[in-house]
Amino acid sequence: MGEFADPSAQVAWHALSLESAQAQVGATAEGLSDDEVAKRFQKFGPNELRDAEPINPWAILASQFSSLIVWILIAAGVVSGIFGEWVDALAITAIVVLNALIGFYQEFNAEKSMAALKRMTAPHARVRRSGVVRDVLARDIVPGDVVVLEAGDLVPADARLMKAASLKCIEAALTGESDAVGKHAEVLDREEVPLGDRKNLVFMGTSVATGSAEALVVATGMATEMGRIAGLIQKAGQEEGTPLQKRLQAFGKLLVWASLGVVGLVFVLGLVRGLEVFELFLTAVSLAVAAVPEGLPAVVTISLAVGVQRMARRRALMRRLPTVETLGSTSVICTDKTGTLTVGEMTVRTLFACDQEWEVTGEGYGPEGKITPRTSEGEPGATGLNDLITVLAGCNAAHLTQEEGRWKVIGDPTEGALLAAAAKAKVFPATLDKDLPRVKEFPFDSDRKMMTVVRKSLEGSARAMVKGAPDVLLARCTQILTSQGIRPLTDKDRENISTINEAWAARALRVLGAAIKNGVQESDVHSAKEVERDLVFVGLVGMYDPPRPEAKDAVARCRSAGIRVVMITGDHPRTALAVAKELGIAKENSKALAGLELDKLSDSDLSDQVDQIAVFARVTAEHKLRIVRAWKSQQAIVAMTGDGVNDAPAIKGADVGIAMGKAGTEVTKEASDMIVADDNFASIVAAVEEGRGIFDNIKKTLQYLLAGNAGELLLMTLCVVFGLPMALLPIHLLWINLVTDGLPALCLATDPIDSDVMKRGPRKPGASIADRGFLVLMGITGLLTAGVSFAVYLYGLKYETLEMARTHAFAALVFAELLRSFGCRSETKTLFQVGAFTNLRLAVVVGIAFLFQIWSHHNPILGGFLKTGMMTWSDCLMLIIVSIIPISILEVAKLIRQYR
């Protein structure tokens, strides 16, 4: 035996003759000896995919403390504990721990991509060794082994075909092409051939639909195409922060410096005014507590968690919590065609028989649908149509089965589509087998490009039913079936049939021809050559994988939302472009870029041109990952959808990876951030809408919390500037931040989504949450609430005791904050335009908080805990009236902006 080269070396196996391939691997048709197998196993290792490093749960837990805001809270808690403010310290610690536990629970799922890939590979396989066929574990297969394949087998390794009889393989998981691919053992005369067109190779993890074969193993384990994808998944899996995480991180830094600046300023002013250093330090700690929105981490986490529940109701299941918001930032959706934009099942759409076209309705492999003439000339029961339908059902090797209410095909998907069309005409294979028993079958092969089944009637005459490529079939026909009966086939007939074939092909339909032969002689039954001549042409069948009805509307919604939809598929360019034009993804003059053309572009060239290409066709897993990275280099937030193994690396490398729940492989699901339960592109768009709504809710919640904190800081700063005692005690600040602000903030985080959210463009990736408009509004709001509270405080100092002045200031600030929560629901619409009770939770929480605050001023125990005095009912009413001032001014400002 010769020495086999490194399996990782790039060898164009499809371009080698069988003899050359055998020489390259050092093997023969008899297979390897046991000694040679042992040597090669030692050299190349087991035929399995390497495990990715498992995620450490401690690392997940530690990542929950990576946020700067969390560390600010921890520092504030420690300082509060040092100075004896144990209530503050315990409350802050509880918030930090609760937030970490929620985040850990949501994210604790191990990376199972490699394990899922392993489950897709065959556990056992049959190989020929030393001339004997034996059953072995798939992991024990080595390069040079000869594998024996039959219908239903999973291919255990990448192999060069030695023999193939009517072999068709389902490679959808690897290439994205929905049709079963015909295979043969002949040499391909080009080295540069797309993966889906390498007809003399079979690949690990794909399955045999029909036929049988023997193949020479040329690559095992990580050297296979499946192994290359596994490697790409690992490379693509480098985690990056989501847009929200990056924004919050940047905002945390801003908050730190702003807090330190204000606290430092107040400290210096206090020194200038001659206040004691220790008292100033305690004041500074109080201000630091006031500056930090303690409820923010919990609010963000809960907002995302609620978003997950909303998305689940809209058929989108989230696997990573922060990705919920990232969807709202998405500017590009790279989507697979088959099964996502399309139904994912071949469907007969049109028939031609007796000079009449017939339209077929319904989708998938179910019997639901009708066959109707395109013009009034045809009759549903026409003889020509019946003969055509009979050929579709009678010349067929597939079976349809119903599982859990869904029809599935066992065998070739194309033949499944033909059976479904026949079922719509109430013609079933079981009935045919009874009335016209099967005598002989000549399976489809790549040389004849036809399939024939000979059936015998109860009277004893034999009829051949033939289907195949229209041009090849037409050449074998001498007669044609018309509404007047059978007559000779003329040149005009041939021209007419060829014209229809070309027109259907231009519409990206897959076209098959059908023919019959009556009175087949018993002596000819065993010869395909004799049976498949002098045929009677019956008709044409046009089929394709139809776009989902709701996909076109979903693409239009993306366009209005400023989101670019790009089709990336392993299918043929003409088919992909036709579907893209029908859905509005591509324009009439658009072109599809094929994988071979993509190979000729450098990464920088692809990055420069990627925004000009709407359709990428005949692409591999590596191509898809390159396309995603090219878009990301353009500062786009990219969502990648798919269902096959070949989509997994790009799904892993995208900002948001989206897998299909029904048709998606386990590999793809484990690599994803989100799973679409109904495999529907429209559900993805609905999830983007939810993502945008979630960001809006987080932003309005942040505005509410920070404007409240700004009011507290301004109030405390004014007291220091004017040499007054502190208007609020630390317990007051913590109560406001956690209860008065915290509970309404949670309700704002679950606010209903604005109906206009999909009518604006996506957010820019680098845009800050706290932009100029955000900071201006925060400052004005803080100034208004601080102004009202300070005025009440001054009034109390003049006419009441210090305790009552603080009580008035505390109550006024609480009432103003609670009322302001209603105005925070929209930056542009007034409270009455949004609807006061469209967020019932908020209305209930604010009402309860109002009652609780009023009760605290009439209950000595609660008043003692909050260090407040007792107030009369009239005082409470006057404070509520004064507290309406800030929200009234802000609402009037909205009306003025609308008028302008």
Residue type, 248: L
Would you state the structure tokens that stand for residue 82, as one six-digit string?
Answer: 């040092």
Look at the alpha carbons of 645, 646, 649, 655 in this order and tell me if their dihedral is positive or negative. Answer: negative
Residue type, 309: Q
Question: Catalytic: 445?
Answer: no
Would you state the structure tokens that stand for residue 124, as one six-digit string?
Answer: 């056992």
Helix (H, G, I), strand (E, B) or coil at 167: strand
In this structure, how many other beta carbons lie within 10 angstroms of the beta carbon of residue 897?
10
Q: Which of 336, 643, 673, 679 is catalytic?
A: 336
607 CB contacts (<8 Å, ≥6 apart)? 630, 633, 634
Asked if residues 24 and 217 have their Cβ atoms less than 8 Å apart, the reply is no
DSSP per residue, 373-406: ESSTT--TT-HHHHHHHHHHHHS---EEEEETTE
Asked if residues 247 and 769 have their Cβ atoms less than 8 Å apart, the reply is yes
Asked if residues 141 and 159 have their Cβ atoms less than 8 Å apart, the reply is no
- Residue 424 CA, chain-centre distance (Å), reads 34
Phi/psi at 459 (5° precision): -80, -15
Would you state the structure tokens that stand for residue 829, as one six-digit string?
Answer: 């619409």
Nearest alpha carbon to residue 637 among 538, 564, 705: 564
Phi/psi at 2 (5° precision): -80, 165
523 CB contacts (<8 Å, ≥6 apart)? none
Look at the alpha carbons of 230, 236, 238, 244 in this order and tell me if their dihedral is positive or negative. Answer: negative
DSSP character for 758? Answer: G
3-state secondary structure 63-124: HCCCCHHHHHHHHHHHHHHHCCCHHHHHHHHHHHHHHHHHHHHHHCCCCCHHHHHHHHCCCE
Would you state the structure tokens that stand for residue 41, as one six-digit string?
Answer: 């196993």
Would you state the structure tokens that stand for residue 259, as one six-digit string?
Answer: 């807090």
Strands 615-617 and 399-403: unpaired
Strands 124-129 and 132-137: antiparallel
> Using alpha carbons only, how large is the chain's radius of gyration in Å?
36
329 CB contacts (<8 Å, ≥6 apart)? 243, 244, 637, 655, 691, 695, 762, 763, 765
791 CB contacts (<8 Å, ≥6 apart)? 882
662 CB contacts (<8 Å, ≥6 apart)? 677, 678, 679
Asked if residues 657 and 671 have their Cβ atoms less than 8 Å apart, the reply is yes
Helix (H, G, I), strand (E, B) or coil at 154: strand
Q: Which residues pair with 150 in a beta bridge?
A: 212
Phi/psi at 206 (5° precision): -85, 175
- Residue 718 CA, chain-centre distance (Å), reads 52
Strands 535-544 and 450-456: unpaired
241 CB contacts (<8 Å, ≥6 apart)? 249
Would you state the structure tokens that stand for residue 88, as one six-digit string?
Answer: 């503050």
Asked if residues 561 and 760 have their Cβ atoms less than 8 Å apart, the reply is yes
3-state helix, strand, coil in the chain (%, to 5): 50, 15, 30
DSSP character for 201? Answer: E
| Catalytic residue list | 336
